[in-house]
Amino acid sequence: MNSVSAAKRRLAADLKRERERPRGDTGIIHFDNVSKYYPGGHAGLNQIDLTLAAGEMAFLTGHSGAGKSTLLKLIGLLERPSAGQLRVLTRNLNRLGKRQIPWHRREIGMIFQDNRLLFDRSVFDNVALPLVIQGIGHREIGKRVRAALDKTGLLHKEKAAPVTLSGGEQQRVGIARAVVGRPPLILADEPTGNLDPQLSRDIMRLFDQFNQVGVSVLIASHDIELISTLGKRILVLEEGRLVYDTATEQRDA
């Protein structure tokens, strides 16, 4: 047990040193000429330059296969870039070892279109899972889980089985699970893809509420009609390239 604790302390110290290393203001996410190649030479991403400021909310859009999911996977280190430099939460992900990946992911709330809920556990237990993995105390888990469920409007459903919930409620359980660890960054991959227009707007308003308290948010969505009404930065990918950025357009206007 002591050796395990010592290893955890060493990993935490490594990440702390990486965060505190002096560097320019590169934002909470910074892609510098990043590419991702797959077997056969297919480019999932091609020479991406992109910076998301701390506290910013932005939408990533483009046709199916444009590279939206690939970009999010690189940020969460579900995949590694093939070329270029990628810095997230002040860390150089090119230098992050395998043992440090779980620590990195603890500071990112990741939300998927299919929810990835555990249907043999209650809503409470689904949301509590990241905290249980981290070894958080029982009393603190209860406080954080109920706060997350209250924020997402599901406190009255904490004992329910996920299978009894609507699609919108299941998605909100996924969001509560993603934010229960109080991450500074939220990534969402097509979070409204299976929802009707009204529920989609409700989910987007929920993300906006998290952003208003300082959480950085990056959402991949094909629903350009919806995201264009929200007044946030929009990034457009086409065949792995970043071809449009409303922030650039506004600066050039």
Walk along the chain (253 residues) in steps of 10 and give the mean pLDDT of each run. Answer: 52 50 66 94 93 96 94 96 95 93 93 88 96 94 96 96 94 95 95 89 94 96 92 96 85 53
pLDDT score for 152: 94
Q: Please state the pTM of the whole predicted model.
A: 0.86
Label residues 209-244 b or e (16+ Cβ within 10 Å = b). ebbeeebbbbbbbbbeebbeebebbbbbbeebbbee
pLDDT score for 163: 95
pLDDT score for 250: 58
Q: Which residues pair with 221 in a beta bridge?
A: none
- State the sign of the Cα–Cα–Cα–Cα dihedral 39, 41, 44, 48: positive
Backbone angles phi, psi at 19, to 5 degrees: -65, -35
pLDDT score for 1: 47
In this structure, what DSSP letter does residue 28 have? S
Q: Which residues pair with 87 in a beta bridge?
A: 30, 92
pLDDT score for 112: 86
Whole-angstrom distance, CA of residue 167 vs CA of residue 48? 34
Whole-angstrom distance, CA of residue 214 vs CA of residue 8? 28
